Amino acid sequence: MKRKILLMCLIVISSTSWSQNDLKLPTMDELLSEDKQGLTRPLEKDLGITIWSDNFDDPATWTINNDGLGGVGYGWDINDMSEGWWSSNGINSSSGGNYAELSNGDATTGSQELDVVLTMTTTDPIDVIGLGGTNQVTLEFEQFGARFNDLQQISISTDGTTFTPVGDNLDKSVLSQSGGSAYDNPDLKQINLGTILTPTNDPIWIRFTWTTNYPSASTNPNVWITYGWYIDDVKLVTNPDNDLEITDSYWGTEGLHYYRIPTTQVAPIDFQATVFNGGVDAQTNVQLNADINSGVFTGSSDPISVDPLDTTDLTLSTQFTPPASIMNYTVTQTITADSTDDVPSNNELSNITFYVTDYTYARDNNNASGSTTNGTDGFEVGNLFDIWNDQELKALSVQLPGGNNGATVGTEFFLKLYSLDPNATGSIGDALIYEEETEPIIITTSMLNQTVTFPLNSPVFLTANTTYLAVAGSYTEGLRVSNAGASANQTSFFLDLADGTWYYTNSTPIVRMDFDPTIGLDENTSEMQIGTIFPNPATDEARVRVNLINSSNIKLTVSDLYGKTLSVQDVNAQSGQNEFFIKTEAFASGVYCVHVFDGLNTITRKFTKK
C-alpha cells in the first residue's frame, strides 16, 4: 500500500531559488487510463510503417502563431539555423536541413517575453485512417533542448479548433545550477495515439505548444525562461503487433524505498511495474520477474493477459524481506510474455542496488547530483522515514556540496527531527510534531562533499509504526544540501521559512538517520546545561529547560536576530532541571533568540514563531 498524505504542492528548486506551484496537466499515464475505444484489427504489416512524415523542408506545411512576437530569437521559426541564445548548433536530426526552433529571448540578458502561448500546427489535416487503415498509430518526432520552468506540450485536434494534450516534456529533469541535464541530441519522443483515435476518426491536426508551466506566477520573468525547443522529423507510424511498455515502476515498503536499511529496521519490500500494451495484439502470460543476488530470492507476479491499449500493474506475488544482517543486494527485473516483444527497449528495468547496514537509514542513492537551496531565505529540507521497530535515535547525517555552487563555509545550520501525527488533516505542516534537533552547527571546509553526522541534543525514542521527517535547515542564506536520486511525490519535503509553507520535492536530499549506539552527547562540564526550545515553531508559548549544578539566579532574555531585546525574565532556579515558559503571542512571525545567563556564562538557543 502506498502512502497518501494531503500536502501543499510541488516546489521546483532551481538556481532562481523561488517557490513554484505545479500546474496539474493531463499526463500520458492519465490519458492511457481512460476508457478505450473499440479496435479494428488492421491488415498484417511490418513493424513501424511510416504513414505520414514531415521534416520541415517546406515551412508552409506548418502554421505558426507567435502571439504577436517578432524578430530573431522570439517564437517558432523554421530554417536550418540555430537562432536562440543557448545552442549554437541546433538539433542533430536524422534528416538534417531545416528544423523547427522555439525561442523566447535571451535568459542571460533577461529579455524574455511574458504572458505568451506559442504554437506550431500542421497546416493541413492528416487522414490517419485513410493513410494507414488503422487508429493504432504512434506520433513520434526528434527533439533537442532542455527544460527550466516552461511547458513543452504536444496536442492533437480532430476539428482544427479544439486541441487535446497528448504529451509533454514534464518527465524531463529541470536543468539548473542544482543539477539536471539537457535532452539527448536528438531525443526520440513517441506518443501512442491508439487511446485517442477511434477506428473511424476524422483527420487530425498536430500542434506543438510552448508556454510557462507556472501560470499562477506569470508576472515573474523566471517562469518564461527557455533554453529552446528544437523539433524535426515528425512522423505517424503504425504500432507494432507486440509492444509492452513500462510506464511506471515502484519498489519499497509502504510507499518509501531505502537504499540503506539498518538491520533493526528491515521490513518486507514490494516490487511493481506498470505496463501499457501499445501493440495491436493482446499479450498473454505477462509477468514481472525479479532475481535478487543471483538466486537469493526469485519472484514473479501472477500471469495476466493485457488487451491492446490497456494498462495494468504487475506486483510480485511474494515480498522480499532481507535478513537482519549486513549485506549488499542487487535486484534484476524483467517483463516476460508469450510473444516476443517488437520494441524491447521500452520495457527494460534498470537494476536496483540497496544495502542492509549496521546503523544507517538512507532514502538517497548516494550519487550526489545537484543540491537544494532557497537563495537568501532560510529553509528546511529532508525525507520521510518509517520506523518498524522501537529504537533510540541519537544522530542525523547530511551531505553538503562544495565547489562554486556549494554550501558557504561559516554558515550556521541544524538537523532536526519531526514525527507525523497520523490523525492530522490538511497540509504536511499540520501533521508535524517537533521531536529534537542538534546544536547549531557552523559549516567548515572539512564538512563539504562528504556525509557528516551530528548528535541530537537528546536521544529520541522512535516508536514502531510511526513516520518521522528528518531535515537539515538554516535560518539564513548559505546552506546547500546535496541531492541524490529521485523521490516520489509527498515523500521528501521542503519548508520555505520565508512564508512558512511546506512543499514536496522530487529530489532526494542526503539527510539520513544514524542509529550508531556509540554516538554520545557531548558532556557539558559547566555549571549549566540548556535544552532546545520547544515547541519549535512556537505559537503562544515556548519552553526552555535549564539544568543547574547549583541553585542560581537566571536571566532569560529574548531578542530578535538584530539583537533588539524583546523580553527579560529574572528567575530563581533550583539545582537540577528547571523548565521556564516564554510568552510569544505578541511576537511577530520570525526567528528569535533566547539567551540564558547564570552570572558567568550565556548560552543561546533559537526558535521560530509561527
Closest CA to 211 of 20, 27, 23: 23
Domain with CATH 2.60.40.10 in the chain: 244-358, 528-609
Q: What is the CATH number of domain 48-238?
A: 2.60.120.200
Q: Could you tell me whether strands 481-486 and 371-372 are parallel, antiparallel, or unpaired per DSSP bridges?
A: antiparallel
* Three-state DSSP state, 101: strand
**Adjacent-strand bridge partners of 354:** 329
Quickly state the pLDDT bin for 16 (edges 50, 70, 90): very low
Mean pLDDT for all residues in the chain: 88
Residue 587 burial (C-beta neighbours within 10 Å; 0-12, 13-18, 19+):
buried
Query: How far apart (Å, rounded) are the C-alpha atoms in residues 468 and 457?
Result: 17
**Adjacent-strand bridge partners of 353:** 330
pLDDT at residue 499, rounded to an integer:
87
Span 367-514 CATH architecture: Sandwich (2.60)
Give Cα 129 to chain centroid, integer Å: 40
Cα angle vertex 115, ends 110, 117, to 5°? 110
Residue 603 burial (C-beta neighbours within 10 Å; 0-12, 13-18, 19+):
middle
Query: How far apart (Å, rounded) are the C-alpha atoms in residues 266 and 387?
Result: 9
Q: What is the CATH number of domain 244-358?
A: 2.60.40.10
Which residues, 6 or more positions from 387, have their beta carbon under 8 angstroms from its beta carbon?
265, 462, 463, 464, 465, 466, 467, 468
pLDDT digits (tens, 9 = 90+) for 567-596: 999 999 999 889 999 999 999 888 788 888
How long is the chain?
610
Residue 367 burial (C-beta neighbours within 10 Å; 0-12, 13-18, 19+):
exposed
Query: How far apart (Å, rounded) are the C-alpha atoms in residues 426 and 91?
Result: 46
Instruction: Look up residue 45 and give its three cell numbers.
Output: 504489416
**Mean per-residue pLDDT, 301-330:** 96
**Adjacent-strand bridge partners of 50:** 237
CB 512 within 8 A of CB 361: yes
Query: How far apart (Å, rounded) are the C-alpha atoms in residues 202 and 125?
Result: 9
**pLDDT exceeds 60 at position 15:** no
Phi, psi of 596 (to 5 degrees): -110, 120
**Mean per-residue pLDDT, 343-366:** 94
Which residues, 6 or more positions from 250, have their beta carbon under 8 angstroms from its beta carbon?
2, 257, 270, 271, 272, 273, 488
Q: What's the predicted TM-score (pTM) here? A: 0.73
Q: Could you tell me whether strands 283-292 and 304-306 are parallel, antiparallel, or unpaired per DSSP bridges?
A: antiparallel
**pLDDT exceeds 70 at position 126:** yes
**Adjacent-strand bridge partners of 513:** 361, 396
Task: Give whichever of 229-243, 519-533, 559-573 has the largest mean pLDDT.
Answer: 229-243
pLDDT at residue 607, rounded to an integer:
84
**Adjacent-strand bridge partners of 384:** 469
Quickly state the pLDDT bin for 44 (edges 50, 70, 90): very low
Give Cα 545 to chain centroid, integer Å: 38
Q: From the CA atom positions of the chain, what is the Rg in Å?
A: 28
**pLDDT exceeds 80 at position 36:** no
DSSP class per residue in 174-227: B-BTTB--PPPSSEEEEEE-TTT--TTPPPBEEEEEEEES-GGGTTSGGGG---
* Three-state DSSP state, 449: coil
**Mean per-residue pLDDT, 435-461:** 92
Cα angle vertex 230, ends 229, 232, to 5°? 145
pLDDT at residue 577, rounded to an integer:
87
Other Cβ atoms closer than 10 A to 358: 13
**Mean per-residue pLDDT, 208-235:** 95
CB 496 within 8 A of CB 525: no
pLDDT digits (tens, 9 = 90+) for 282-298: 999 999 999 999 999 99
Torsion-angle region of residue 525: left (phi > 0), alpha (psi -120 to 50) or beta? alpha
CB 89 within 8 A of CB 82: yes
Span 528-609 CATH architecture: Sandwich (2.60)
**Adjacent-strand bridge partners of 229:** 102, 145
CB 413 within 8 A of CB 397: no
Instruction: Look up residue 446 and give its three cell numbers.
Output: 572539512
Instruction: Look up residue 17 and give its three cell numbers.
Output: 531559488
pLDDT at residue 47, rounded to an integer:
63
CB 146 within 8 A of CB 182: yes
Query: How far apart (Å, rounded) are the C-alpha atoms in residues 232 and 206?
Result: 13
Please indicate whether residue 599 or residue 350 has the higher confidence score (pLDDT): 350
**pLDDT exceeds 90 at position 495:** yes
Task: Give whichever of 11-15, 172-176, 322-326, 558-562 has the largest mean pLDDT.
Answer: 322-326
